[in-house]
Amino acid sequence: MLMLKILFPVRALETGEDICYNTYSMITAENKSKAFALTQTHKDDVGSPQAQASVLTTRIKEITEHLQTNKHDHMARRGLIQMVARRKKLLKYLEANDFEAYKATVAKLGLRK
């Protein structure tokens, strides 16, 4: 199966020259660290269900925006569905094992009303 990576140039503000290429739908390191900081249980927490659900929520929002302009991007849609399912499993685990943390995570991420 042939895998293609779509790359978009990032332009320097001063010169207008291409300085690097970024994959469009990847989460940036800055956004990822903000997502971790939102629900961390301690300073170096990146593996707890709360932190993982937070990063998945950020990625889901980015891909949803991408799909609003690129309606026929079926691979991105498939990835989105997989991420939603993974986040659902993490939240289900969190709800079963630590209900208070589940409620706090859902409130911070704004998932349920």
Mind listing the pLDDT tens digit for each residue in 41-74? Answer: 899 999 999 999 999 999 999 999 999 999 999 9
Per-residue model confidence (pLDDT) at position 19: 36
CA-closest candidate to residue 39, choices 57, 61, 54: 54
Q: Using a cut of 0.85, tell me whether the model's pTM lies above it.
A: no
Per-residue model confidence (pLDDT) at position 26: 75
Name the CATH superfamily, with its identifier, for domain 26-109.
S15/NS1, RNA-binding (1.10.287.10)
End-to-end C-alpha distance for the chain, whole angstroms? 41
Q: What does the alpha-carbon distance between residue 46 and residue 73 come to, in Å, rounded to a whole number?
A: 30
